[in-house]
Amino acid sequence: MELKQKGHAAWIDQFKQLTISMKWTTAADFDLAAVYETKTQQQGIVYFGDLGNLNAFPYLNLNKDEGVGDKGGNNEEIMRISRLDDMNYVWIICWDYNMMQRGQRARFKNSDVHLTMTNEMGKAISVTIDTGELGNVCCIATLDNTGTAPKLINASKAGTLKGLKTIGQLIEIARHEEGMQQEVFIS
């Protein structure tokens, strides 16, 4: 199944482990991250600076950092999730590291960044980034666990940061209202 447009969603069946793979060949230092909010409103982030833990809270783990120095080729970063029970939301974030450091727009539009979520049974859901020219940070997808069953939503929300100072900056982009301007500038 493919979620090609912003707002498209798919229910997630029960799982033992979800694997989120972000692949690209574009010469850019894209980074995969997961920002989460628990049912008790605790917030955190799993990214190249804190790879997380698959066997203990937050039950999220990133394998490695690829594309460092704007290296093109067969780049892939993998985020694994073993539990969502304690989570309200997990926002799947991608940023263009070098453009974010400079506060400049990313290379999302001309890139081949592709996100695929697969369960242990091989059932896959793909998400296409739908931000156009906007931002250097993109909330690609939202895992929403506030209803009766979790669902994956193509969020495609963009924002522009000049350096990453707080988790709140990323959450503001992820939660930005649908009816408002599509790009959020945060300094």
37-89 tens-digit pLDDT: 999 999 999 999 999 999 999 999 999 999 999 999 999 999 999 999 999 99
Provide mean pLDDT across the span 133-157: 90
- Report the alpha-carbon distance of residue 124 to residue 107 in Å, rounded: 26
Provide mean pLDDT across the span 3-20: 89
pTM (predicted TM-score):
0.90
Which residues, 6+ apart, have CB-to-CB distance to 102 below 8 Å? Answer: 162
What is residue 181's predicted lDDT score, i.e. its pLDDT? 35
- What mean pLDDT, rounded, does the chain reach? 89
Question: Domain 2-186 maps to which CATH number in 3.40.50.300, 2.40.30.10, 3.40.50.150, 2.60.60.30?
Answer: 2.60.60.30
Q: Domain limits of the chain?
A: 2-186
3-state SS, 125-187, equals EEECCCCCCCCCEEEEEEEECCCCCCEEEEEEEEEEECCCCCHHHHHHHHHCCCCCCCEEEEC
